[in-house]
Chain A
């Protein structure tokens, strides 16, 4: 399996040197994150970190702490009784979901520091990432896929390459990607022609450089071709399904005429994780409508303020 996974990494994860250099100078999304968020993300990955220690770091950033409480208390996370303090919130969410919340809250607030043209690009991409992450969570819940939060992180980060393009080469990115969320088969080719690499390759290289889990690298690299995924095929296919649904919602405004039969990743997902594929086809519109409604809500867990 390792050899299969290393194949695309060695052949595809080789973005042009000048783009790499720009990323190192401009730093991309990670340098836009507040220091406390970066520290909290590292702690959430540490198996020896206690809830008390974690909460004590997060509460130093009142905005981050407020966001965690707000999200924990949202219907999306199944809140029944209000959670009033951070330790309770972390206990309820668990570290995996806290990591998601911190990423979501931090990336969302980082957009406000940008020029309008850049902030707008990031907003649309951010919206797409959140929708994909939420749909991945819904798929996981409905079809018992067995993920424990990584599906949301993967959805949130699957298009990080597009966000990086928007930061390091905004003019070329605007030519390559009309941000209409109609992703035809030529979308990656168009990026390669204009930017000399595609967002999958750039994003996967960047995430690998930042030593994030290999599963995320494979998701980013293969989410347009889940049938070719290897080690983390189920996760890649889940994101492929969610990505297709999110694109449809963003390009059409609603799920009313969505045809799940046209989502090629569904077949891959249910090969990787046997389950009720027919239910997925029949319930797709409902799942998408509910997610869209939650994402649009001003009090939703990831509203874009």
Chain B
């Protein structure tokens, strides 16, 4: 049996963090860690050691694209999987995410209806992508050393609110 995949959700909205967290936890194969922005992700990397980052492209302090770039520039071989979550309106962000080093993008919309259908939408959108990348990188992910936040290019550990 595969050990749980550690997923960190970075989103500035508390409600969206809760929604994505519950959507993934319902699948019973993930440990989910919340983060409020990219700086918070960097702070938590050494302790949470996530296998997968799901990064909103619109966040204060350090957005998803900046976070992806900073982590890849620090260690281009780090097998961490990074998915950018973005709205349909942020097409530019989607176009920037992959060149920046994201493995994939997931589309997010605010017309997902009530909470049950919203969770289903997120599971349908995220689970195949997480599983695909995890299947390809599992061994490397499990063996990967922890990254120190002070090593992230251009990023100092910062205070977190929210």
Contact = CB atoms under 8 A, between A and B. Distances in A.
Contacts of B90: 296
Interface stretch (A52-60, A138-146, A174-182, A235-243): A174-182
A298 B36 CA distance: 11
B15 A303 contact: no
Interface string A97-126: 000000000000001100011011101100
A299 interface: yes
B113 interface: yes
Contacts of A299: 60
B40 to A, nearest CB: 13
Contact of A116 (B22, B36, B59, B89): B22
A175 B43 CA distance: 43
A261 interface: no
A111 B162 CA distance: 13
Given A112-B14, A119-B15, A305-B12, A180 B115 contact: no
A197 to B, nearest CB: 20
Contacts of A272: none
B58 A179 contact: no
A200 interface: no
Contacts of A121: 114-115
Interface in B5-34: 12-16, 18-19, 22
A253 B89 contact: yes
A251 interface: yes
A-B CB proximity, top 9 nearest: A253-B88, A298-B58, A117-B115, A120-B115, A123-B15, A119-B15, A298-B60, A305-B12, A304-B13
